Amino acid sequence: MRFLLILALALPAAGADRRNTETPDTDTRQSFAAPDSLDAWKARRLALRQQIRAAAGLWPAPPKHPLTVLFTGRVEREGYTVEKVAIETLPGFWLGGNLYRPKEPGRHPAVLHPHGHWPYGRLENSALCSTPLLGANFARNVFVVFAYDMLGYNDTVQAPHDFTGPEYQLWNFTPLGLQLWNSIRAADFLESLPDVDPKRLAMTGASGGGTQTFLMAAVDDRLAAAAPVNMVSGLMQGGCVCENAPGLRIGTNNIEIAALFAPRPMLLVSATGDWTREVPKVEFPAMRKVWELFGRPGDLEVVQFDAPHNYHKESREAVYEFFRRRLAPERPAWRERNTAVEKLQDMLVFHGRRLPEGSLSFEDLFAQWKRSSRAAARRMSAAEARERLRVAFSWERRPKLEELPSRWFGGRAPAVLLLDPDGMAAAEKSEEFRALRAAGRAVLVMDVFQTGSATAPRNRSHRHFLTFNVSDDAGRVQDAAAAIEELARRTKQPVEVRASGRARWWALFAAAIAGAPARFDAGAEEFDEDEARLAREFFVPGLLHAGGVESALRAAGASAAQFRK
């Protein structure tokens, strides 16, 4: 089979590439429109859940080891008790918290309560936020509450609250992911208690705790109700590194993520004095359309208070009533009562005591995460490896070949995609190109993202840039994968991929994720996965957590098998 030689193509302007011109960040105004059908929403929900879990380092997730629980003290109060509790969420890694329990016998609804960025964390007791009052008032009214730490707060000090960098991002090892895993294990803990009804599990938190709430609500089906407070917004997406992880919001935002909870009951609490000021008129109606797809629009509710950013008394009372109606309707409504609040040191699990034997340093925790990630990735099938890598490279958002600068030389099949680190001009000068053309082979050369004529200004300055945007190297792989798919469509044949230098990284991973059969001859020994080198030469967040070269070779090998057929 031979193909027409096309010598002149209209080359798109590099500056028009949306990956350069559309670089959202935490303060970019966002909007959300629900799809027209329930089936479309369910498909979208599945994809977004995978994206969230991958960004958090929970796809594949660490194994759930048997939960070790440490109780170090108990306070008796009228109608309830408060206990100091730590749970081992990863081997050698402890999450601290306080467990508020009613004295009334029976199995009760329970509430997970992560705190926001208040100075005293879960022990904050001020006009704008009081976790002790929230816990006490819920417990007086037969709710069990587990109030637990963010990283770096109070008892949970084995990891800092604010850490980031390429070496961690390559492994999806982030504060956001560790906190989401802590929430998952906190739910395991509550479910294990004899006085908790696991079918009536709820979650609420404000500010950064609100982000934790809707992320947990998005990925964990055990929650029966949720109330994210003063966080779901199209105006601001969360300013802390614990609310941002690479890949989390590429093509999405907090409004859509929160809507993943549908059709279960959710209360949106908002304030006039922060970024949730438009929620009743903008975000709430947009989200309600998702609940309408399920025929349950009344299960999304909204309330707003004329106040600054908070989890104050009025906001707490709105949540009390929402959870009461949804999870304990037989109980009478109540208003918040004051109570004696314990001294800070009396509520700390590890005040005056050491962490348990075998507790890990931060460096050892990271090393354990890497070992666990690598072992889990090796257990994936070739198909699973391909799907996981596709999420890492935001494969679904790849451009079309006609949008990219390329040149096609017709000839004998199978067609060859020839990649050069310096772009298509350099590729056309190479010995490989001349040999292919002399042999009459069909060849496509191209300037993948940020190479050759595709080099263009791109604002990468925002600290959370990678939360919303792909890395340059991920964009290059997207382009090569798009070329493979288009060549296969045009020629009705599998595609051969050849590359030199750094472009061999792009070729390998493009062959692994492309939605068409391709062959790329490579061996693991030629790819150095040293973290510092990857940060310089082939940086894609989540690459190593997804299995890196080993996963790519497995997925590409499966594609090459189709090539041979």
Query: Do 479 and 449 form a contact (C-beta atoms < 8 A)?
Result: yes
Residue 328: partners with Cβ closer than 8 Å, 6 or more residues away: 108, 109, 141, 142, 143, 200
What does DSSP say about strands 93-102 and 144-148: parallel, antiparallel, or unpaired?
A: antiparallel
pTM for the predicted model, two decimal places? 0.96
In the chain, the domains with their CATH numbers are: 14-26+380-564 (3.40.50), 44-371 (3.40.50.1820)
Cis peptide before 102 (omega within 30 of 0): no
Query: Do 58 and 181 form a contact (C-beta atoms < 8 A)?
Result: yes
Q: What is the DSSP string of 203-215?
A: EEEETHHHHHHHH
Each of the 565 residues of the chain gets a pLDDT tens digit; together they read 333 333 334 445 555 899 999 999 999 999 999 999 999 999 999 999 999 999 999 999 999 999 999 999 999 999 999 999 999 999 999 999 999 999 999 999 999 999 999 999 999 999 999 999 999 999 999 999 999 999 999 999 999 999 999 999 999 999 999 999 999 999 999 999 999 999 999 999 999 999 999 999 999 999 999 999 999 999 999 999 999 999 999 999 999 999 999 999 999 999 999 999 999 999 999 999 999 999 999 999 999 999 999 999 999 999 999 999 999 999 999 999 999 999 999 999 999 999 999 999 999 999 999 999 999 999 999 999 999 999 999 999 999 999 999 999 999 999 999 999 999 999 999 999 999 999 999 999 999 999 999 999 999 999 999 999 999 999 999 999 999 999 999 999 999 999 999 999 999 999 999 999 999 999 999 999 999 999 999 999 999 999 999 999 999 998 777 665 5
Q: Which amino acid is at 267?
A: L
Residue 329: partners with Cβ closer than 8 Å, 6 or more residues away: none
Query: Do 428 and 421 form a contact (C-beta atoms < 8 A)?
Result: no
Q: What is the DSSP string of 64-122?
A: -PPPPEEEEEEEEETTEEEEEEEEEEETTEEEEEEEEEESS-S-EEEEEEE--S-TTGG
Sheet holding 266-273, edge to edge: 69-77, 80-90, 93-102, 144-148, 108-114, 196-206, 223-229, 266-273, 300-308
How far is it, in rounded angstroms, from Cα 112 to Cα 58? 20
400: which 2 tokens?
């079309």
Q: Closest Cα to residue 413, out of 489, 495, 480, 481? A: 495
